[in-house]
Amino acid sequence: MLNMNSDGTQVLLSVEAEAYVEHLVKFGIKDVGGREWGRQHENMEKLNMQAVVNATAQEDEFIKDFLISCGKVDVVVHDLILTEVWKEKIFPELVDMNFNPKTTFPLYMVLYHEATVVNLLETTMFYRETCEAAEDCTPDLIDYCYRRLTQLVARSESVEDDEDEPNDPTLSAETHGGNMEELQKQEKKLNFEICIKVISLLRYITDNLESLPLSVMTRMLNTLDIPILLVQLVECPPWTKRKNGKVFKFIDSKWQELNFEESMKITKIEGQIWLALYTLLMNGKCQQKYDLNTHRKNSILKLRSHLTEVMLDQLPILVEMQRYLEHLSMMEPPAPARELILEQVPEIKEKILNDNKGKWKKIAKKQSQTFFNPSDSDVRAQAKRWADTYNFDVLEGLLTDPPKCAVCGAEATKRCSRCQNEWYCRRECQVSHWKKHKTACDLILEANDSVKANG
Model confidence over 336-358: pLDDT tens digits?
Answer: 656 655 667 789 999 999 999 99
Both 385 and 425 in one domain: the answer is no
Please check whether residue 71 lies inside any domain of the structure.
yes
Residue 306 falls within a domain, yes or no?
Answer: no
> Do 349 and 419 fall within a single domain?
no
Using an 8 Å Cβ cutoff, are 51 and 117 in contact? no
Burial class (CB in 10 A: 0-12, 13-18, 19+), 440: buried
Give the type of residue at 323: R
Does residue 7 belong to any structural domain of this protein?
Answer: no
Verify that 126 and 145 share a domain, yes or no: yes
Q: What per-residue confidence (pLDDT) applies to 118?
A: 95
197, 140 contact by CB (below 8 A):
no
CA distance 294 to 333: 7
The answer to whether 114 and 84 are in contact (CB under 8 A) is yes
Supply the pLDDT for residue 400.
43
390-421 core/surface letters (b: 16 or more CB in 10 A; e: else): bbeebeebeeeeebbbbbbbeebeeebeebeb
Query: What Å distances lie between residue 432 and 157, 407, 438, CA to CA?
Result: 35, 8, 11
Residue 174 sits in the same domain as residue 60: yes
Asked if 33 and 79 sit in the same domain, the reply is yes
Q: Which helix (H) or strand (E) holds 57?
A: helix 35-57
Cα–Cα distance measured from residue 306 to residue 277, given in angstroms and rounded to the nearest whole number = 13
Closest CA to 118 of 226, 200, 225, 9: 200
The model carries a pTM of 0.81
Same domain, 40 and 120: yes
Residue 309 maps to a domain: no
Please list the rounded mean pLDDT of every run of 10 residues in the chain (455 residues): 46 90 96 93 92 87 94 96 97 92 86 94 93 90 96 74 40 48 87 94 93 87 95 94 89 88 91 96 90 92 95 94 94 66 79 96 95 82 70 45 70 74 79 74 63 49
Of the candidates 134, 129, 4, the one whose C-alpha atom is nearest the C-alpha of residue 61 is 129
Which residue intervals of 390-426 are DSSP H helices?
392-398
Kindly give, in sequence order, each residue whose CB lies less than 8 Å from that of residue 318, ignoring residues fewer than 6 positions away: 274, 278, 307, 311, 312
**How many CA atoms within 13 Å lie on the side-chain side of 271?**
11
Asked, for residue 374, whether it belongs to a domain, the answer is: yes
Please give the order of strands across the beta sheet that includes 240-243.
240-243, 246-251, 254-258
Residues 455, 441: Cα–Cα separation, whole Å: 21
Q: Is residue 91 a contact partner of residue 101, using CB atoms and an 8 Å limit?
A: no
Q: Give the count of domains, the chain.
A: 2
Q: What is the pLDDT of residues 403-453, one digit of tens each?
A: 677 777 777 777 787 776 777 888 888 887 777 777 667 666 665 555 455
How far is the C-alpha of 269 from the C-alpha of 237, rounded, in Å? Answer: 10
What number of other Cβ atoms are within 10 A of residue 22's Cβ? 13
Residue 454 in domain: yes
Distance, CA of 53 to CA of 47 (rounded, Å): 10
> Alpha-carbon torsion 48, 49, 54, 57, what sign?
positive
In a domain, 94, yes or no: yes
Question: Residue 241: beta bridge partners?
Answer: 248
Residue 284 CB contacts under 8 Å (≥ 6 apart), including other chains: none
436 lies in which domain range?
A: 407-455
Rounded Cα distance, 261 and 181, in Å: 39
Buried b (16+ CB within 10 A) or exposed e, 279-301: bbbebeebbebbebeeebeeebe
Helix (H) or strand (E) holding 384: helix 376-389
Cβ within 8 Å of residue 453, ≥6 positions away: none
Same domain for 340 and 455?
A: no
Cα 303 to Cα 231: distance, rounded to the nearest angstrom: 7
Q: Are 390 and 417 part of one and the same domain?
A: no
Q: Is 241 inside any structural domain? A: yes
Do 215 and 191 fall within a single domain?
A: yes
Residues 357 and 424 in one domain: no
Pair 257, 192 in one domain? yes
What pLDDT does residue 406 have? 75
The C-alpha atoms of residue 210 and residue 128 are separated, in whole angstroms, by 10
How much is the pLDDT for 343? 66
What pLDDT is recorded for position 56?
85
- The length of the chain in residues reads 455
212 and 141, same domain (yes or no)? yes
